[in-house]
Amino acid sequence: MAHIEDRTIENTTINRPSLGGRSSKPGSRRGSGSVVLKSGQTLAYHTRTNDEDDLPHATKKTMADYLRKYESIMRIITEAFKETLEKGLKEHGQVVPMIPTYVFGWPTGNEQGDFLAVDLGGTNLRVCLVTLNGSGQFELTQAKYRLTEEQKHEDGQKLFDFCADCLGMFVKSQLEEDFGKLKSGQELALGFTGLPIKLTALINDTTGTLIASRYVKPETKIGCIFGTGCNAAYMEKIGNIEKINNLNLPADQEMAINCEWGAFDSFEHEHLPRTKYDIIVDETSNKPGEQAFEKLISGRYLGEILRLVLCELIDEGVLFLGQETYKLENPYAFDTAFLSLMESDPTEELLMIVGIFTYFFAIETTLAERQFFRALARLIGTRAARLSACGIAAIVSKIGCLDEGCSVGADGSLYNKYPNFADRIHEGLVAIFGERGKNIQTHHAEDGSGVGSAIIAVTFQP
């Protein structure tokens, strides 16, 4: 695996190994074997089961060289990212739009009340009943509904009807369960459910996460989402948001900015290194050229990147010869959750990976193949986390909080469930900033968007 990783770091492409030499010793405590590189060179690999790095001893030095090179690429990306953020504050219509949210300033932590929240994500719809108790405390009951592919692509009316149905079902179930609680404090009226619900605030999930994180953890300065998509928000002095200077808002007051940073490097593709697989993901997507940063990072795409590598190996007759592979050849058939499972497989024989391939794709795999798949997942997941670190570092450097330190509240399945995602972000921050990078820590902002919208709704209550 490590050699594959070496080559990748050197070329910033995932090189195609031939898995012809499948020679993992049966019963060996260590995975080992050989891969034939494109150049024709054969490399032995050897994976220690309990080592995070999985470095073969012979190449440690060169690996360190590659890492240094990588770190400088990360710093260059961070710098370009920061400039892009600044541009977005200056002028309307920039690639990274830096949207003014009109959410003014931080919550105090003492906000109180009961609120309903509906969170429409790229994969899930969540309906929550949030009780803010003050002192940074909250309680939350939620129901999660998975959106179907049709719902994501059909006309909006049907989707909103579905939201209303879910909201209605949730409220009814809550009324049955806990009548007293729901009755107190709300007038519930969106009209369509026949229930008295009043729409108070409409908020972006990332802005919500920023506000919710701060409510719970006063050191918070940045909020991030790593789910189907990825995004960040932070608090900016109004005077620095040059593009809205004409509104004559108090320059010293603060306003949350929804960066929509997933758009970084869109169209031009001048800052982020992309592999040919990334280019296929982009060109076959419904928005080619757009969301360039997000396409390297978020849950919607990571599984697809891995799938494209496998498909290429299938096409070239290297993998799964003689097996039916049509299930795997379906675009987006390989969920990012599989990468999480593959990386966290605790068994020597990688039985979890056996399960994924047999159960979902009816494909048999060898141990050497599974080790390669896991290595691939690790590369894709690590790259996503390290690029995320570049985005966070850009905001940290923009607001100048590196020495003082801060916390970054993060939510979304990728952040919450992908093994080591947070640690890899932290490593990335150290790679960019050196030891001072440790001043920036991320934490899970639980149900950030729901809690955040409740907090923001408090401000807008009559």
Rounded to an integer, what distance in angstroms lies between the CA atom of residue 232 and that of residue 260? Answer: 7
Query: How many angstroms separate the CA atoms of 118 and 259, rounded?
Result: 22
Find the shortest distance in angstroms from Cβ 174 to Mg ion: 21
Find which of Mg ion, ligand ADP, none residue 299 binds, CB within 5 to 8 Å per kind: ligand ADP
Cα separation, 210 vs 448, whole angstroms: 7
| Block residue for tokens 């757009």 | 290
Distance between CA atoms of residues 454 and 424, nearest Å: 31
DSSP assignment, residue 356? I
Nearer CB in complex with ligand ADP: 105/122: 122
Which residue, 300 or 386, has its beta carbon nearer to ligand ADP? Answer: 300
Span 186-215, contacts to Mg ion by CB under 5 A: 205
Among the listed residues 336, 371, 388, 453, the single contact to ligand ADP using CB under 6 A: 336
Identify whether the C-beta of residue 211 lies closer than 8 Å to the C-beta of residue 107.
yes
* Cβ-contact 266, 95 below 8 angstroms: yes
Whether 33 contacts 371, CB under 8 Å: yes
Determine how many CB atoms are found less than 10 A away from the CB of residue 56: 20
For position 227 contacting Mg ion by CB under 5 A, the verdict is yes
Distance, first Cα to last Cα, the chain: 60
Site track for ligand ADP across 243-282, x = CB under 6 A: ----------------------------------------
The answer to whether the beta carbons of residues 74 and 389 sit under 8 Å apart is: yes
Binding mask 147-186 toward ligand ADP (x if CB under 6 A, else -) reads: ----------------------------------------
Which residues in the 138-177 window bind Mg ion by CB under 5 A?
none
- Of 307, 291, 296, nearest to 414 (Cα)? 296
CA distance 400 to 348: 45
* Cα 277–chain centre separation: 19
Q: Which residues pair with 257 in a beta bridge?
A: 100, 234
Using the contact rule CB under 5 A, the part of the chain among 46-54, 113-121, 284-292, 367-375 near Mg ion is 113-121
Instruction: Based on the shown chain and the rule CB under 5 A, indicate whether residue 229 belongs to the binding site for Mg ion.
Output: no
121 part of the interface to Mg ion, by CB under 5 A: yes
DSSP string, 278-332: HHHHHHTSSSTTS-TTHHHHSHHHHHHHHHHHHHHHHHTT-SSTTS--TTTTSTT
Report residue 150 as tokens.
């049709």
CB 371, CB 1: distance < 8 Å: yes
Question: Is 209 a residue that touches ligand ADP (CB under 6 A)?
Answer: no
Q: Cβ 452 to ligand ADP, closest distance in Å? A: 13
The nearest distance, CB 403 to Mg ion, in angstroms, is: 32
> What is the distance between the alpha carbons of residues 265 and 135, in angstroms, rounded to a whole number?
40
- Out of 15, 112, 123, 344, the only residue in the binding site for ligand ADP (CB under 6 A) is 123
E runs forming strands in 195-352: 196-197, 220-226, 230-237, 254-258
209 binds, among ligand ADP, Mg ion, none (CB under 5 to 8 A by kind): none
Among 207, 213, 275, 340, binds ligand ADP (CB under 6 A): 340
Residues between 224 and 243 that touch ligand ADP (CB under 6 A):
227-228
Closest CB to ligand ADP among 320 and 334? 334
* Smaller CB separation from Mg ion, 24 or 228: 228
Give the nearer residue to ligand ADP in terms of CB position, either 97 or 227: 227
Which of the residues 384 through 443 are near ligand ADP (CB under 6 A)?
A: 412-414, 417-418
By beta-carbon proximity to Mg ion, the closer residue of 111 and 205 is 205
- 335 touches which of Mg ion, ligand ADP, none (CB within 5 to 8 A by kind)? ligand ADP
* Residue least distant from ligand ADP (Cβ): 121
Residue with tokens 């209550």: 461
Tell me, by CB under 6 A, how many residues bind ligand ADP: 17
Residues 440-459, mask of contacts with ligand ADP (x by CB under 6 A):
--------------------
Site residues, ligand ADP (CB under 6 A): 121-124, 227-228, 299-300, 335-337, 340, 412-414, 417-418
